[in-house]
Amino acid sequence: MRTDPFRRGILTAAVSGLALAAIPFRASALDLATARALIDQLVAEVNRIINSGETETQMFADFEKVFAKYADVPIIARSALGVAARQASPQQMTAFTKAFQGYLSRKYGRRFREFIGGKIEVTDAHPLNENYEVVSTATLRGEAPFDLRWWVSSKSGRDLFYNIVIEGVNMLATERTEIGAMLDQNNGNIDALIKQLETSG
């Protein structure tokens, strides 16, 4: 969890994160208590998975279920695809979102597997523009605790997280850079990108 991509491009990610935080989200009934409760539930599920003794494949399947349940996947996917999302057909966006969900679950699932024997604990929550940031601490065996921050909104009509900031590195900004590089490798072909995501992560 403490290696690439999280330590890569911290300054770029931080600057991009400020811009992303400024995106106007629709006001809703979401409040500080419900935002924190959402992440409390998410963290409890992640802690259960990382200490379940399951195989890597089983863990990845469980992490994808958690991601689908608690994350605003369409918002994250569209942000990651960036400008290319405007040219994508509805069918391509649906396929990309599904492939991206699996890709991200495997990618971050591998990082979370490093927490085996450790735990994540929610410690604080506060407003973030019209949304909320819930702060948690990850404790691994033999390492100093470090910071995970979850950005929560209800833009989609449900209370969901739309970003994670790990030790100052912004997931949305990182994924937008990496998906953009993958799209370039595929000469801007979204269908080819989707196929690559289905086997990556």
User: Would you write out the chain's pLDDT as a tens digit for each of its 201 residues?
Assistant: 444 433 333 333 333 443 343 344 344 468 999 999 999 999 999 999 988 999 989 999 999 999 999 999 999 999 999 999 999 999 999 999 999 999 999 998 888 888 888 889 999 999 999 899 999 999 988 788 999 999 999 988 999 999 999 889 999 999 999 999 999 999 999 999 999 999 987
| pLDDT of amino acid 200 | 86
| pLDDT of amino acid 29 | 67
Domains and CATH numbers, the chain: 10-21+51-198 (3.10.450.710)
| pLDDT of amino acid 158 | 92
Token digits of residue 47: 């802690």
Backbone angles phi, psi at 117, to 5 degrees: 90, -5
Q: How much is the pTM?
A: 0.81
